[in-house]
Chain A
Amino acid sequence: MSPVLIRLLLLSIRGRLVRWLRMLRRPKYLIGFAIGLAYVGFWARSVLSGGKLGNSFFSGRSGRVEGDLAAMVPLFLAFALLVFVSVVWLLPWGRLGVPFREAELMLLLPAPLTRRQILQFGLLKGQAAIVTSSLIISLFAGTGRLPEQARLVVSLWLALTLLDLNKKGRALFLLRQREISRRAALARRLAVVLGIAAFWSLLAVSFYRPAAPTLDAMWQQRADVWDLIVTVVGHAETGMSGALLTPFVWITGLPFASSWREFAIGLPPVAAMVVLGHEAVVRSKASFEEAALQHAGEIAQRKSPSRRFRRLSARLRQENPFRLGPTGRPELAVLWKNLHLSSRRSLGRIFGWTVAGLTGVAVVPAAVNAPALVLGLAALTGGVVAVVLPLILTLSQQNDFRSDLRHLDLVRTWPVVPHRLATAEILAPALVATAAGCLGAGLFLAAMVGAWLRFAFHGDTVTHVFLPPLDATIMGLPIIAGTALIAVGLLPALASGMALLAALRNLAVLAFPAWIGSLPESGRGIQALGQRMLLGTVMILGLTLGLLPGALLVGSAILVQGYFSIPWSAWAFPLWGGLAAAPLVVEVALLARLAGRLWAGMDPSHEILDLGR
């Protein structure tokens, strides 16, 4: 391989390392790195010192897999490998050629390099992932003793390299199939299929002929399953079938070598296979260049966030969440924009369709006298959606500062008062999450109404574990009215709670922009792990503290009611909801002010715009 390409690879690794070290000069990265390193170090130590993960899979007779079974594992794995390789070569479709990034192709293809060298570079690129995987697997499955660990890493590296070569060899074979004449391609495909079929036939015959009498006899005598397995394995290991399986056993057996001697005997054939596989790949006649360019383009398109918008219909492109007039509060434009990221559909239309859908859930099962299970499942789904979806949406959606930081050249020039801009950024995820909560609660209520309607239409009482009994009451109100009142009462608390979560999230984004995964470079490495752990802890703490005043207010109201012996009524729920929401609204307003200050004073030069590095 060209020394220039090796140098290129080393330089890119060094570049990444230097960039990473420079990043650590800033305290917030250093703190994240220290926390991440402490966590990884603790985990690795527990593994290496023979903790619960350290009980080796590959440690042979002294580990979890003992005795006969341990001796059989390489053969089982070899058989699985054979099945895998046969199946992938039989399938006529799959990735074509060797994957390269567009930038690499633009650099390598015009350079004075042979195709063999470029292919070698393509193979070498994959080695980083292979070496890392070998290390991680060995950490999980090794014994923790250094010499055995080292043998295991080398064995796994060879096995994974062979799998990689097989994958790339097949991809180049498939590519070549497209380039040659139809007749030649058919002949090659036929040769592969016949070759695999012949191999399997030979394997089956060579195994079955000597083994059949013994196995028949054992079957007649209803022998123990374990004895049957031992006999099958014994026959598979010997004679022609053993010889046919040998190359595969060489690969799968090497990680199980229990001594350096055993390892030294097993190593040469596997290493020879790697060399042969490598030669087969780099000598391929397939013109991988064009396929690689196409593949790079496809990858870039697949990664593009705009992919899903391009598929929208002409009608939907004309729709907007709500009508935005040219004058009025400018921050409403930011909310309007951010809602597009969730859906372009008009909020009125979404509301209409939701109401129609929920009415359907209530009426249709009752009209057709559907089984109770249908309504029970609807109630369960509604409950889960109401509780889980708002949280997931608030944390996972990027319709706030998280996505706007990528558009600083635009957003920073907008004439919007900073805290109002922050409020608009917080409102979009909070609104979507609250809507999801309402949808869940609505579904739950619709299922209950459905149960009531079924009783009204057919006189059947619906009983299901996920549906509250219809004759029950909540503080004097019938169950459906009581549940509806609870839902309505909780709505302000849900909305303000989601706004608090969104506010905390946005505050974190503004305080530590580079810690947020949506920006390039963030979200990877040990420091990102530590940053996430730290941010997660702070968020949970902030949320708990934020919810505390509301909880105290509701608790006080309940105590006062109890102290003055005011009768309990379901009508108290809206009051409690309001009491829980009031401090949250104040907190969100304060956090929005703080976020506004951070936004106004933020210098995005280093962390976002990557300037002056």
Chain B
Amino acid sequence: MIEVEGLVKVYDTLRAVDGLSLRVEGGKILGLVGPNGAGKTTTLRCLTGIIPPTEGRVTIEGFDLAKQPVEAKRRLAFVPDEPRLFDYLTAADHLAMTARLYGVEAGRERSEALLEEFGLADRSRSFPSELSRGMKQKLMVAMALLHRPAALILDEPLTGLDPAAMRRMKDRIRTTAAEGAAVIISSHMLHLVEEICGAIVILVRGRKELEGSLAEIREALPDLAGDADLEEIFIRATEDGKLR
């Protein structure tokens, strides 16, 4: 479970995230959407311990990220928007290192299975510079899934993937959630969010503008058509003051 209470992140005078609270139970997928500069990536970075929040509390499976960071991070996996891999490690090395970092029993076998699953088995000895953007993305996801995280956070997970790989990735995210992981996805691909997320949070200027399932959000906006899709909701939510 991922729990966020009153998350605030301030850069100098800019409030990038302003009092965000949310909760994702195991087995659920939450979609985090918002316009550019809404604070999505900052929120995800705070949730994964990359940057410290100015205020607020983040817990992963009950472990406070600030007070018990090692325990919390052991149960967490993050796939950033840009796959920044180590130039000097091969794909197999990345997985071997991840297995050791998270103490994955049978790490080798699981690495091989994941490489196979993501179609990287024949590229296991390739360096990141020899992989395409999509392959790097797949490797990042394989690294994230290696230790069967209880909380999986993905920032734009489908960027650079071909349609077949997109479908496989969506299936994999669903399977991971079905296995009990709490998943947060941040994406501009609204069809992805609509398709696989049970709950949606729309962030605007660091604040939670709307939250709930697509049906709940539609109900909260009675002036919208009953079959309004997420794109329509998103546009309404992000236009200045339309919802207030």
- What are 10 contact pairs spanning A and B, CB under 8 A? A312-B127, A318-B125, A326-B99, A328-B103, A333-B97, A409-B80, A409-B84, A413-B76, A414-B73, A416-B101
Q: Report the minimum CB–CB distance from B98 to chain A (whole Å).
A: 8
- Most chain A CB neighbours (cut-off 10 Å) among B48, B52, B77, B82: B52
Within 8 Å CB of A333, what residues of B? 96-98, 100-101
Asked whether any CB of chain B lies closer than 8 Å to the CB of A365, the reply is no
Within 8 Å CB of A604, what residues of B? 50-51
- A282-335 CB contacts (< 8 Å) to partner B: 304-307, 309-310, 312, 314, 317-318, 320, 324-328, 330, 332-334
Asked whether any CB of chain A lies closer than 8 Å to the CB of B189, the reply is no
Known A-B contacts A327-B100, A612-B12; A317 and B52 likewise in contact (beta carbons under 8 Å):
no
CB distance A309 to B52 under 8 Å? no
Asked whether any CB of chain B lies closer than 8 Å to the CB of A412, the reply is yes
Known A-B contacts A306-B127, A326-B108, A601-B52; A606 and B100 likewise in contact (beta carbons under 8 Å):
no
Within 8 Å CB of A600, what residues of B? 69
A219 to B97, CA, bound (A): 78
A344 to B77, CA, bound (A): 27
Asked whether any CB of chain B lies closer than 8 Å to the CB of A341, the reply is yes
A158 to B106, CA, bound (A): 69
Q: Report the minimum CB–CB distance from B228 to chain A (whole Å).
A: 33
Asked whether any CB of chain B lies closer than 8 Å to the CB of A597, the reply is no
Looking at chain B's contact residues, the main secondary structure is: mixed
Within 8 Å CB of B49, what residues of A? 412-413
Which residue on B lies nearest to A304, using beta carbons? Answer: B129
CB distance A309 to B97 under 8 Å? no
| 5 nearest A-B residue pairs (beta carbon) | A612-B11, A326-B107, A306-B129, A333-B100, A306-B87
CB distance B103 to A327 under 8 Å? yes
Question: Number of residues in A with C-beta < 8 Å to the partner?
Answer: 46
Chain A residues with CB under 8 Å of chain B are 304-307, 309-310, 312, 314, 317-318, 320, 324-328, 330, 332-334, 336-337, 340-341, 344, 406-410, 412-417, 600-601, 603-606, 609, 611-613
Asked whether any CB of chain A lies closer than 8 Å to the CB of B215, the reply is no
For chain B, give the interface size range: 35 or more
CB distance A605 to B80 under 8 Å? no
- B69-123 CB contacts (< 8 Å) to partner A: 69-74, 76-78, 80, 82, 84-90, 93, 96-108
CB distance B102 to A415 under 8 Å? yes
Which residue on B lies nearest to A408, using beta carbons? Answer: B50
- Most chain B CB neighbours (cut-off 10 Å) among A326, A340, A344: A326
CB distance B125 to A317 under 8 Å? yes
A410 to B107, CA, bound (A): 19
Within 8 Å CB of B73, what residues of A? 413-415
CB distance B52 to A409 under 8 Å? no
Known A-B contacts A413-B49, A611-B11; A324 and B97 likewise in contact (beta carbons under 8 Å):
yes
CB distance A409 to B50 under 8 Å? yes
Asked whether any CB of chain A lies closer than 8 Å to the CB of B14, the reply is yes
Within 8 Å CB of A305, what residues of B? 87
A416 to B48, CA, bound (A): 14
Within 8 Å CB of A328, what residues of B? 100, 103
CB distance A330 to B102 under 8 Å? yes
Which residue on A lies nearest to B80, using beta carbons? Answer: A409
CB distance B125 to A336 under 8 Å? no
CB distance A612 to B50 under 8 Å? no
Known pairs A320-B93, A415-B76 / 8 extra A-B pairs, C-beta < 8 Å: A330-B101, A332-B100, A341-B88, A409-B45, A409-B82, A409-B84, A413-B50, A604-B50
CB distance A407 to B84 under 8 Å? yes
Within 8 Å CB of B87, what residues of A? 304-306, 309
Asked whether any CB of chain A lies closer than 8 Å to the CB of B42, the reply is yes
Asked whether any CB of chain A lies closer than 8 Å to the CB of B128, the reply is yes
Q: Report the minimum CB–CB distance from A347 to chain B (whole Å).
A: 16
A413 to B46, CA, bound (A): 11
Which residue on A lies nearest to B144, using beta carbons? Answer: A413
Within 8 Å CB of B88, what residues of A? 306, 309, 340-341, 344
Which residue on A lies nearest to B102, using beta carbons? Answer: A415
CB distance B101 to A415 under 8 Å? yes
CB distance A611 to B42 under 8 Å? yes
A613 to B14, CA, bound (A): 9
Q: Report the minimum CB–CB distance from B176 to chain A (whole Å).
A: 17
Asked whether any CB of chain A lies closer than 8 Å to the CB of B16, the reply is yes
